[in-house]
């Protein structure tokens, strides 16, 4: 298993995995997903099998303020932010239970620390808040999440300790 930056050849695999993972919330189109990677290529990764197949992906980017970015909308140009927003992490059904999600998240934490980022934020969807809590995220009760994230969406954040 190998973690690397997203390249053009990986997007077909990313779209496939997204369609497996996010049917309850809805699927973002390729231009929207690419806008995350274009905004912050150093914090967007894929996990590849030994044969080069995309097993999972992670999209994260700088962001400011309490409200998360809107779903289904291209990301605007972002010059600076007060935290790193974890937009999306998903693992192929073929690779579940193999540590792919953990490897992707560890890569994000490592890059975040290298860049001096002190806080990660995300919106937990489809009942995933307990998963993120196990990784050190806490619910941000003061922030209401846009309905497009789903009825059970929870804003969460994690302080990074150096």
* Residues 48-106: tens digit of each pLDDT: 999 999 999 999 999 988 889 888 999 888 878 889 999 999 999 999 999 999 999 99
SS3 content of the chain, % helix, strand, coil (to 5): 35, 25, 40
Output the pTM of the full model. Answer: 0.93
Cα gap 153→127, rounded to integer Å? 8
* Residues 119-158: tens digit of each pLDDT: 999 999 988 999 999 999 999 987 778 777 888 899 999 9
Domain regions of the chain by residue span: 2-159
| Residue carrying the six token digits 């922030």 | 143
What's the CATH fold of domain 2-159? Aminopeptidase (3.40.630)
What pLDDT score was predicted for residue 78? 82
């Amino acid at each position: 298993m190998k973690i690397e930056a997203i390249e053009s050849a990986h997007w077909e695999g990313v779209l496939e995995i997204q369609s497996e993972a996010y049917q309850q919330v809805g699927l973002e189109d390729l231009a929207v997903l690419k806008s995350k990677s274009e905004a912050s290529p150093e914090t967007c990764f894929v996990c590849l099998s030994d044969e080069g197949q995309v097993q999972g992906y992670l999209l994260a980017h700088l962001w400011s303020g309490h409200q998360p970015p809107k779903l289904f909308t291209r990301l605007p140009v972002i010059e600076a932010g007060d935290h790193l927003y974890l937009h999306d992490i998903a693992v192929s059904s073929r690779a579940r239970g193999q540590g792919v999600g953990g490897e992707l998240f560890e890569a994000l934490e490592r890059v975040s620390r290298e860049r001096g980022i002190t806080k990660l934020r995300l919106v937990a969807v489809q009942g995933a808040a307990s998963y993120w809590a196990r990784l050190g995220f806490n619910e941000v009760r003061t922030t209401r999440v846009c309905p497009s994230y789903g009825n059970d969406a929870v804003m969460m954040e994690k302080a990074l300790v150096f």
